[in-house]
């Protein structure tokens, strides 16, 4: 399965359970890092990675070029690099450091002077120091030093990026564990995580708000809804308004005492709870639920004319068709997850067939025949 590209690579809850279903946590982390590198083909990690290879190849070339029969010339260059750093960067740092007393200040400079003296001595007595070809070696050596510094910087940037994906993965596992999507089994070596029934369900849900979707299902929020009510509420998971996020529909079909409005209230409450959990786990904020298409999808599935429906909205026909298709996809996932729904306590046994009916209601007219 190809995961959708977002503006940044953030592993989703669904991705985590899919990885853990077939591998242990360590392997999953490695896989994630690899898919992260793939994703970054357009962005920078691949570029950083290529640059690292280039620099490593160049360094090897310089090492051959400055090969010295007296000793390890690269080691000699490292001494020079350290010496230069001590003489310039570290001294400058000390000059800007605040000391409590003059004695402390003097001691710090004295310590640095000792380091410099030792490095000088090591450089002076290095086997390569007396080589007759030293100037020729150094011509290559300067390139080697410059690219060696760049390699260190690039490597650090690369590792801080890839490492953050693995960290996010660990935080996701914490949340999944606390919500009973994962079970842990202690073995002698490391902790082994298993998917629960809920975890198996989550594996089949592909949506930016996958965890909210799964939680809503498992908490029975969608129990006993009609197909029309179900699709109206689920539109909040796929709708993206053109205006500011978090908008409301023009009306809630069924009014404030109806099933849709009450389901929406429960979804909002669940969303707040899940968001808080994600924030506590240092995960990126969830995209908000958007209820702006609740009435639009309801009316369409109920057979109304599209031009009439969109008259007082900021949606275009193209927007509408795309969103309706995404909603059908979501309902189809729910239908396809039927066998997993059966094994979760408290979930309506008819939810899967209800989703199937709902998808059929939406899939008519322009939605059925357009190819967007």
Report the interface residues with Zn ion, using CB under 5 A.
68, 131, 133
Q: Which is nearer to Zn ion, 68 or 336 (CB)?
A: 68
Q: Which is nearer to Zn ion, 15 or 128 (CB)?
A: 128
Minimum Å gap between C-beta 285 and Zn ion is 59
In this structure, how many other beta carbons lie within 10 angstroms of the beta carbon of residue 226? 15
Minimum Å gap between C-beta 123 and Zn ion is 15
Q: Which is nearer to Zn ion, 10 or 68 (CB)?
A: 68
CA atoms of 354 and 191, how far apart (whole Å):
39
Q: Which is nearer to Zn ion, 69 or 257 (CB)?
A: 69
**In 3D, which of 246, 364, 249, 372 has the Cα closest to residue 319?**
372
Decide: 309 and 198 in contact? Cβ < 8 Å.
no
Minimum Å gap between C-beta 170 and Zn ion is 49
Minimum Å gap between C-beta 62 and Zn ion is 14
Cα distances (Å, whole numbers) of residue 303 to 218, 355, 365, 367: 30, 17, 10, 12
State the residue for tokens 């000793």: 71
Minimum Å gap between C-beta 116 and Zn ion is 25
Q: Which is nearer to Zn ion, 71 or 365 (CB)?
A: 71
């Amino acid at each position: 399965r190809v995961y959708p590209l977002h503006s940044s690579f953030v592993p989703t809850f669904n991705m985590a359970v899919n990885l853990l279903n077939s591998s242990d946590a360590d392997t999953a982390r490695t896989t994630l890092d690899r898919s992260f590198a793939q994703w970054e083909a357009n962005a920078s990690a691949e570029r950083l990675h290529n640059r690292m290879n280039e620099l490593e190849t160049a360094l090897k070339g310089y090492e051959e070029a400055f090969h010295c029969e007296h000793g390890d010339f690269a080691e000699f260059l490292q001494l020079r690099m350290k010496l230069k750093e001590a003489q310039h960067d570290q001294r400058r740092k000390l000059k800007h450091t605040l000391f409590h007393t003059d004695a402390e200040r003097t001691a710090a400079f004295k310590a640095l002077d000792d380091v410099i003296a030792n490095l000088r001595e090591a450089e002076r007595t290095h086997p390569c120091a007396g080589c007759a070809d030293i100037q020729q070696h150094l011509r290559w050596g300067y390139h080697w030093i410059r690219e060696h510094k760049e390699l260190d910087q690039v490597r650090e940037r690369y590792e801080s990026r890839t490492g953050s994906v693995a960290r996010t993965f660990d935080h996701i596992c914490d949340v999944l564990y606390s919500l009973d999507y994962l079970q842990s089994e202690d073995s002698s070596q490391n902790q082994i995580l298993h998917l629960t029934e809920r975890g198996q369900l989550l594996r089949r849900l592909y949506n930016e708000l996958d965890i909210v979707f799964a939680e809503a299902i498992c908490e029975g929020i969608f129990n006993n809804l009609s197909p029309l009510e179900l699709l109206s509420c689920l539109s909040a998971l796929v709708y993206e308004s053109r205006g500011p996020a978090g908008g409301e529909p023009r009306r809630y079909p069924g009014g404030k005492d109806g099933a849709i409005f009450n389901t929406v209230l429960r979804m909002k409450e669940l969303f707040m709870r899940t968001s808080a959990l994600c924030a506590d786990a240092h995960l990126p904020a969830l995209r908000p639920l958007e209820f702006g298409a609740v009435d639009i999808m309801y009316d369409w599935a109920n057979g109304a004319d599209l031009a009439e429906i969109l008259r007082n909205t900021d949606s275009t026909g193209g927007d509408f068709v795309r969103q309706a298709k995404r909603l059908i996809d979501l309902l189809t996932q729910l239908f396809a997850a039927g066998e997993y729904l059966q094994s979760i306590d408290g979930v309506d046994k008819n939810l899967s067939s209800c989703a199937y009916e709902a998808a059929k209601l939406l899939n008519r007219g322009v939605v059925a025949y357009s190819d967007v």
